[in-house]
Amino acid sequence: MLEVKNLSKHFAGLKAVNDVSFHIDKGEILGLIGPNGAGKTTIFNMITKVYPLTSGEIHFNGKRIDDLKLPSDVCKAGVGRTFQLVKPFGGMSVMQNVMVGAFNTTRNTAKAKEKSLESMERVDIINLKDQLAKSLTTVDRKKLEVARALASDPLLLLLDEVMAGLNPSEVEAMLPLIRKLRDDGVTIFVIEHIMAVIMNISDRIIVLHHGEKLAEGTPEEVTKNEKVIEAYLGGGH
């Protein structure tokens, strides 16, 4: 579904991402992990056109998308995303926030409302549809962020640390939600720092370190990789 070839992003002399290649198959959950500053969110930002590429190519469903002009163009092509820092429109209702995502694919208000209701139902916040977004708890703001992305009808959904800031019981409740999205036909690319989460939900995992791909494989293969252990824990371990 997604193929990334020799992706690089340089900020002046800093090589935030350097010559990274990978693919995502339809229907899988691909995890992306690495220490802080490894380049994970930078990769998300390049895929979704927040940042221009320094070099490389990005193909989605057989079409090149790195030459699209705007993030909204990538979204229309079928790639949705959430952001690490959740910033809803606080003075708008939950439904109105989700409708913002729906309006990326339709200009019909009735259809946008229908899509937003469906998306809120999928992430279990339908009971909050009339509340102001600024009144939501952290976990419900995270769900709102996912619902808004889902309302844009993504084939591929990029989740950037959707579990960050949640307590263990909230994290546990989010896991089946992500699996169900995949079961419903949404392919998922996820960044997560909570190792128990990423190992639990991912079919494959890519490890970044200093902007380069350090390892790739199943969760079991990655956890046994000596280079990965050294990058996370240091050679003494």
Ordered by start, the domain boundaries in the chain are 1-78+163-169+183-237, 85-153
pLDDT band at 15 (very low <50, low <70, confident <90, very high): very high
Q: Supply 140's token pair.
A: 């419900």
Give the residue among 149, 2, 174 at the shortest CA–CA distance from 75.
Answer: 149
Q: How far is CA 157 from CA 37, 47, 143, 153, in A?
A: 22, 11, 14, 9
What sign has the CA pseudo-torsion 127, 163, 202, 100? positive
* Range 193-197 average pLDDT: 86
Tell whether the model's pLDDT for residue 237 goes beyond 80.
no
Q: Report the C-alpha gap between 186 and 70 in whole angstroms.
A: 22
pLDDT in tens, 156-191: 999 999 999 999 999 999 999 999 999 999 999 999
- Total-model pTM: 0.94
DSSP letter at 85 equals S
Beta-strand runs (E) in 25-183: 29-33, 55-60, 63-64, 79-81, 156-160
- The sheet carrying 212-217 orders its strands as 79-81, 156-160, 187-191, 29-33, 204-209, 212-217
Q: How far is CA 190 from CA 20, 35, 134, 165, 196, in A?
A: 16, 15, 25, 16, 13
One of 3.30.565.10, 3.40.50.300, 3.90.1300.10, 3.40.430.10 is the CATH number of 1-78+163-169+183-237, namely 3.40.50.300
Residue 83, H or E segment:
none
